[in-house]
Amino acid sequence: MHIDAVTGLLIEARQLPSPNCDDRPLAMEPNLIVIHGISLPPGKFGGPWIDALFTNTLNPNVHPYFKEIQELKVSSHLLIRREGNMVQYVPFHRRAWHAGQSSFQGCADCNDFGIGIELEGADTVPYTDIQYRHLAAVITALTQTYRGITEDRIVGHADIAPGRKTDPGMAFNWQHLWRLLQSQG
């Protein structure tokens, strides 16, 4: 995987800009990766709904759950779909709105310094091998681009928002991710 350090774009990803982003605080570089899990509607995979959520075009009449979330203004830097396709919504050097109320090692507002990577999935459904392989390759590229990101600064959404969030869930295999990262290092 290749990241253009000037534009903050992952070359291998389809680009679909989200309006739900802004500049990071002055002189702040990303130094945290937050792994998320998402499916829309909950438990369903495929379709245009994640793209629509992150671009504020979600039609609330398509599914009852969409009425509950239609007003959300959220985004992520990157989505890795179940078949491995990747979509980038926000350049890595900008602030995506993915973490919400959050804290890591005493620092609040993880959006300020975090990179959000969504995996299409659900807490109790195993993620696919290609998702893990792409995730490991993206993490490796991010750690080469942003030197403040180290292995101990790769966390799940549940780790920075305990009690509020559960993703990427119990089905996420952290050991498998660590093995893949070590084999790339």
Asked whether residue 2 is assigned to any structural domain, the reply reads no
Asked whether residue 5 is assigned to any structural domain, the reply reads no
Asked whether residue 71 is assigned to any structural domain, the reply reads yes
Q: What 3-state DSSP class applies to 84?
A: coil
Domain containing 76 — which CATH number?
3.40.80.10
Asked whether residue 15 is assigned to any structural domain, the reply reads no
Asked whether residue 33 is assigned to any structural domain, the reply reads yes
Confidence (pLDDT) at 114: 98
Asked whether residue 14 is assigned to any structural domain, the reply reads no
Cis peptide before 41 (omega within 30 of 0): yes
Give the angle subtended at the CA of 125 by the CAs of 131 and 48, to the nearest 5°: 65
Pick from 29, 176, 17, 160: nearest CA to 87: 17
Catalytic residue, candidates 12, 118, 120, 151: 118
Asked whether residue 9 is assigned to any structural domain, the reply reads no
Domain count, the chain: 1
71 assigned to active site: no
- Name the pairing type of β-strands 14-15 and 107-108: unpaired
Confidence (pLDDT) at 27: 84
pLDDT by residue (tens digit) across 108-135? 999 999 999 999 999 999 999 999 999 9
Asked whether residue 163 is assigned to any structural domain, the reply reads yes
| Positions of the chain with pLDDT under 70 | 185
Confidence (pLDDT) at 79: 98
Confidence (pLDDT) at 185: 66
Domain ranges, residue 98: 28-184
Confidence (pLDDT) at 24: 96
